[in-house]
Structure 1
């Protein structure tokens, strides 16, 4: 990538001059696609995209020939209130319920400063790896109260110059918890949030619980993002009831079902009926391979299932399905780097996708989640979008996803915020 880093270094501090990235190749383009120029204005947005753009006298021209440019990665399902608590929240069973109980105990003592510190560290790690938009589900319940969502609402504002952060008011039911508390507090929680969420499968009254969430979303004019049927029990199926509510409350195109692991446990015809209905109602889906691989099927004594939903069938059938990190270093997922390319690879391998679908997996961490989050014209390599870009030395989109870059630079709102490189010993770097 030559001297690109030197030429862009000033962007780490300011945006005093427009920048013309000349001769870029962009992800998703076909083999031999025409190179393009990208003009970034001083407001941090893309001013123009085209061939042989003429720089103005005050424009800084940067030759990025040989560089592949992707829009910033979008991680549309995280839990920033939980991130980084692994050592404080043991989960000996390795199960979903064990993780819930472990975090519920910790949440009773987790103050705003603790949440802010941990979330900031994870956000910084994600940004350094090219993620420029995150949607975080944030527990609101009798254990956590409003500490998490209030702290993250402040972070959303503080980070607005470098990252898009959306919050989901995750109205969390626990066994024995009165739904009246959630009813009384849902509107206040949603006031801090960008979307409304919850997890019907663990509610003592899933129907009433879902009505509370959908009615709050309609009142606030905000979308729904549910943790739906994050299990492998066909007898505990809430998908039809949730789809009924999408129709009843007019939430078509404004609803996302995360996890939907149970689809893989249904007979093919039953699963197909649900998937077709999701597509007809324009209900998005998010698969979370790290959590589902870690938490599901620990009770199986042979041939344990992978725990993911029917990723390949949803994608090939035309559903809007994204993939995301879910939890990072907590009792739900003890690992995690914030690298969406890593998540993309897990998705391809665990989701029964094929090598010729690498570009589709790239869309699952870029364009598809951007659409599900409603980022609209603020996202992408297009005039008017934020200049949130990942510049790499990869040959094409397939190699970006399959193996990742040796050199990468991240622009957020037009500023250089991260620069990484793998340096090989000379004996390895030079051909024999």
Structure 2
């Protein structure tokens, strides 16, 4: 990676929202955007935002192998490994992840942190310290990740909500076919409303049509007037429920102001994963239908090099590439899923490529987005307030 700073930089032949333009960057801001008479040679997008990662779990795959395939085998393996976590181990793995994300142009991330006791876990405080070290590079937001049976308990859930509020972070839960679902979820929303918290749910992460907690979350979002403050992740069961039923709930989600994060790599790996059998089900939430109904759709890397997914990268463009393949997306039409939509869902300022705006964007060689994403090693230039770094074939 090469880094340099130029007071003024002239960038030519850039594909921006269907137009070919030249961009002038001066003193860290976009000074001008003018039409180009030539064909596009590069594509551009604002610095990506990843709304769903697990920095506490990352880079454990080599030491932590699930005994059984699928989600619950990974959960069991991860719980065993977590017994041996210490500050040095967490810090080393998280720093490695952030360095990779920074190189790939990530500007902000929301990391879920497993929280399985009343008190805040070690990973929560370690990540809190690392957040300060990375201030000005990557903006990191923490989201607690607690089983619903615990978070919906009045005493335990209230204690967690109080601590998350004190830390000005996000409260989250894992929800899958829980008994007493309505009572537990309502208590979570009651605490979120009282402490003015944003919510982020891992919900219906499986292929059983009976898994429908997403519906109840939508109803409670409406009931507690929390539009724009509730984000759901996964919702894999929407892929196997009757379409008429799905259409009704996603219309309600749009009205309620609920957003949904799709995690293509992890879900493709975990769902319908059986030893010796080729998967037939993708477990992918209906992205096209959600968007058409007005539900903001986000994309996230989710698990990277851990028992849930032993591969993966902290690279939003790689996530978009994979999503484009499996969900038949036209990538140029879905750039908001890795930029403005996650920024908005996280309550962050929206970064746009406009005159007078900060020069925070990524350039990739290619005459179209298909060409740019075709080659993972295409030259990539990351601009942060006018400072550039090159990633790819010419960066050696």
Q: TM-score by structure 1 length? A: 0.81
Partner of 1:59: none
CA contact (8 A) 1:108 1:144 kept: no
CA contact (8 A) 1:140 1:189 kept: no
RMSD: 2.9
Q: Does 1:80 align with 2:55?
A: yes
Q: After TM superposition, give the deviation of residue 328 of structure 1 in Å.
A: 0.3
CA contact (8 A) 2:14 2:41 kept: no
Aligned in 2, Cα 1:402/1:412: closer, same or farther, shift over 3 Å?
same
Partner of 1:132: 107
Q: How does 1:22-421 map to 2 (within 5 A)?
A: 22-24=10-12, 28-31=16-19, 33-41=20-28, 46=29, 48-51=31-34, 66-142=41-117, 145-173=120-148, 180-201=155-176, 203-298=178-273, 304-351=280-327, 353-354=328-329, 357-377=330-350, 379-382=351-354, 386-404=358-376, 406-416=378-388, 418-421=389-392
CA contact (8 A) 1:168 1:196 kept: yes
CA contact (8 A) 1:362 1:401 kept: no
Number of residue pairs matched by the alignment = 390
Task: List runs of 5+ in structure 2 lacking aligned partners.
Answer: none
Matches of 1:384 and 1:111 in 2, distance apart? 45
CA contact (8 A) 2:53 2:110 kept: yes
Aligned in 2, Cα 1:408/1:183: closer, same or farther, shift over 3 Å?
same
Q: After TM superposition, give the deviation of residue 27 of structure 1 in Å.
A: 5.1
CA contact (8 A) 1:199 1:227 kept: yes
Q: After TM superposition, give the deviation of residue 144 of structure 1 in Å.
A: 8.8
Matches of 2:178 and 2:79 in 1, distance apart? 15
Matches of 1:366 and 1:376 in 2, distance apart? 11
Task: List runs of 5+ in structure 1 lacking aligned partners.
Answer: 12-17, 53-64, 425-432
Which entry has the higher C-alpha Rg, 1 or 2?
Answer: 1
CA contact (8 A) 1:85 1:331 kept: yes
Matches of 2:13 and 2:196 in 1, distance apart? 39
Aligned in 2, Cα 1:245/1:302: closer, same or farther, shift over 3 Å?
same
Q: TM-score by structure 2 length? A: 0.88
Matches of 2:158 and 2:80 in 1, distance apart? 23
CA contact (8 A) 1:132 1:163 kept: yes
203-212 or 87-96, which deviates more: 203-212
CA contact (8 A) 2:260 2:295 kept: yes
Q: After TM superposition, give the deviation of residue 330 of structure 1 in Å.
A: 0.4
CA offsets, 1:306-351, max 9 Å, x none?
1111122223333210111100000111111222222112112222
Aligned in 2, Cα 1:213/1:190: closer, same or farther, shift over 3 Å?
farther
Matches of 1:394 and 1:384 in 2, distance apart? 26
Q: After TM superposition, give the deviation of residue 257 of structure 1 in Å.
A: 1.2
Aligned in 2, Cα 1:39/1:112: closer, same or farther, shift over 3 Å?
same
Q: After TM superposition, give the deviation of residue 163 of structure 1 in Å.
A: 1.1
281-290 or 405-414, which deviates more: 405-414
Q: After TM superposition, give the deviation of residue 397 of structure 1 in Å.
A: 3.2
CA contact (8 A) 1:173 1:202 kept: no
CA offsets, 1:140-193, max 9 Å, x none?
112994211111111221111111211112223579x97743333332134335
CA contact (8 A) 1:149 1:189 kept: no
Aligned in 2, Cα 1:74/1:212: closer, same or farther, shift over 3 Å?
same
Q: Does 1:20 align with 2:8?
A: yes
228-237 or 196-205, which deviates more: 196-205
Partner of 1:15: none
